[in-house]
A and B are shown apart, each in its own frame.
Chain A
Amino acid sequence: MRPYSGRKRRTNRRGALLLGGVLFTVLLIAGGAVYLHVRVVQKTVTSYAMGAPVSITLYGKDGAALEQCGRAAAGAVNALERQISVRISGSEVDRINQHEGPASAPESAYILKQILPICRQTGGKYDPTLGGVLRLWDFESAPKTIPDHRQIDLLLHDVGYDNLEIRGDRVELSAPSALLDFGSVGKGYACDKAAEALAGGQVSGGVVAVGGSIGLVGEKPGSRLYKVDITDPLDKTGVFGSLHLPGGSFISTSGAYERYIEFEGEAYGHILDARTGMPSDSGILSCTVVADSGLKSDALSTACFLLPPQEGLALLARNGAEGVLVDENKTVYVTDGLRNSFSLSPGSGYRLEGK
C-alpha cells in the first residue's frame, strides 16, 4: 500500500467532511420522508347503496375524524337513495310514480332541471321517464327472455319528458303508464352528495366511489393527481386505460357490459334508447365522462352511450365536459381536454383514434 502523504491526509479530512455532509443530508431526507409518510393517514369506509358497493377513501391527519367524515358521506348517499330510488316506497320518485298530482320532490326537481337539457340534446333517446320499459325488461333479475315488442310499444306511448311538470320543488308525471327512473344518474349524483358531506375541515383528499361512479376530492398526498382506471368493456376484470385527474373531477362510465340479458345467442345491454325501448345500437361499447359534478358526468355518460361517437363528442363539448369513448371497432376517442390525462394500457388491444 502506498504511504499516505500530507496532501492525501487533507483530502481525507475533506472526505470526512464531505461524507459527514452526505450522511447528514441523507438522514434529513429519510427523516423528512418518514415524517411525511406518517403524517397523512388513510381511512376507507365501505357500505352499500343503490344496488352497488360504496367505497369512501379519505386522507387527512386525524384517523378518527376521517372515519367520522366517511360515515357521514356514506350516510348522505343512503339519504339520497331514500329520496330518488324507484324501489323504495315513499321515496320522491315512488310518490311521483303514483300519478296522484304534483308531489313535493326537491331532489327530483333539481335532477330534472339539470338533465332535461341533455335529454333534449339527444333528441329524446335519453329520457328519465323510461322506467316502465326498464321494469318490463327487468335487467336486475337477469331473466332468460326479452320482452315482447308489442308490450314495449304499448309502454313507449307514454314515455316522454314532456309529460313531466316541474314547478319549484313539485314534480308531476301526467302520463299514466310512464314511470320516472333515476337509475342513469343516481350513483353520479350520490358522489356529489358524498363530496359535499366531506367539504370543510378534516379531509385533505379523498376518493368517493358509488358503484362505478367516482368523485375526487382535494389532493392525493404525495402525487397531487389521482389515477382512475377505466374498465375494459370486453373484459370487465381488466382495464384499457387510466385517467390522471385532480380533485373536483367526477367520473362516470356507461357500458352495456355492466348488465345484460343473454337471449338466443345475443346480448341485450341494459341501456335503452327511449325512442325504441330497445338496447342502444349506437356502436359505442363504453363511454366515460369527466365533469365538474357527478350528476352531470353520469347523465352525459348515459346520453353519450346512446349516440354515435361523433355526436357523443359534440354533446360533451356542448356541455363543457370531457370524455373517453370506445366504439365496437376498439377505437378509443379522447376529447382534447383529456389528451394529457389519459393513457392507454399497453397491450390492451385498443387503438387511439387517428393513430
Chain B
Amino acid sequence: MKRLFGRLDALLIAGILLLAALPAALYFAQPKSVRANIYVKGELYQTVPLDIDRDFTVTGNLPVVIRVEKGGIRFLSSPCHDQVCVRTGLLTRGGSTAACLPAAIVIRLTGDGKESDGVTY
C-alpha cells in the first residue's frame, strides 16, 4: 500500500491527540464541588468536604464546634464572648468566610470555580 495515511496512522494520530488532550481533560474534570478550609491561628488546619453531615470540634485559642449540614458549614457553638462566628450562619458558596477571632479559627470555602480574589465587607 502506497497510502501515507493508513488506518494504523489514523489510530496513531488519534492516540497522540488523546494523549495531548489528557492533561487538559484531567484539569477540567477536577471536581468543582465546594470544600471548606479551616485555618487555626493562620495555618491551614484541615480541609473538609461538605457532602457528609457531621459535627466536630476544632481547638484554637478556644474550642469551637463546627457543623457540616445541607452542603454547607457553620460555627455551631463557641465559648467566645461576642458570638459573631455563630451569628454568621451557614456558608455554602465558594469564597465566603466565617471567623471566630477569639478562638483564632477561620473557615473559608473554595473550589466551586466561582470564588473571587477577595470579599469586601
**Interface of A toward B, CB cutoff 8 Å:** 4, 9, 12-13, 15-16, 19, 23, 26-27, 30, 33-34, 45-48, 51-53, 57, 140-142, 207, 209, 211-214, 216, 220, 226-231, 236-239, 242, 251-253, 255, 258-259, 288
Contacts and interface: CB of A to CB of B under 8 A. Distances in A.
Contacts of B92: 237
B81 to A, nearest CB: 6
B120 interface: yes
Given A23-B13, A48-B101, A253 B118 contact: no
B99 A16 contact: no
Contacts of B90: 237
A156 B81 CA distance: 28
A255 B121 contact: yes
B88 interface: yes
Interface in B46-92: 81-84, 88-92
A141 B82 CA distance: 5
Kindly state the interface size class of chain B when it binds its partner.
Answer: 35 or more
Given A230-B121, A231-B120, 20 more contacts: A9-B2, A12-B4, A13-B5, A16-B4, A19-B5, A30-B21, A30-B23, A45-B42, A141-B81, A141-B82, A142-B81, A209-B118, A209-B119, A213-B120, A227-B116, A228-B118, A229-B119, A236-B121, A237-B88, A239-B95
Given A23-B16, A236-B121, A142 B83 contact: yes
B106 interface: yes
Contacts of A216: 117-118
11 contacts: A9-B2, A16-B9, A53-B101, A212-B119, A228-B118, A228-B119, A236-B88, A236-B89, A237-B90, A239-B93, A259-B84
Contact of B117 (A15, A211, A213, A228): A228
B120 A252 contact: yes
Contact of A26 (B5, B17, B89, B97): B17
B116 A229 contact: yes
A27 B97 CA distance: 40
A235 B121 CA distance: 11
A13 B2 CA distance: 10
Nearest to B82: A142
Nearest to A232: B121
B118 A48 contact: no
A33 B98 CA distance: 35
Nearest to A245: B117
A283 B51 CA distance: 40
Given A4-B3, A9-B2, A231-B119, A140 B82 contact: yes
B20 interface: yes
A212 B118 CA distance: 9
B24 interface: yes
Contacts of A228: 116-120
Contacts of B43: 46
A229 B88 contact: no
A348 B88 CA distance: 18
A229 B118 contact: yes
Nearest to A34: B23
B19 to A, nearest CB: 9
A212 B21 CA distance: 41
Contacts of B95: 229, 239
B120 A253 contact: yes
Nearest to A235: B89
Nearest to B22: A30
A236 B9 CA distance: 59
B17 A23 contact: yes
Contact of B5 (A15, A47, A141, A207): A15
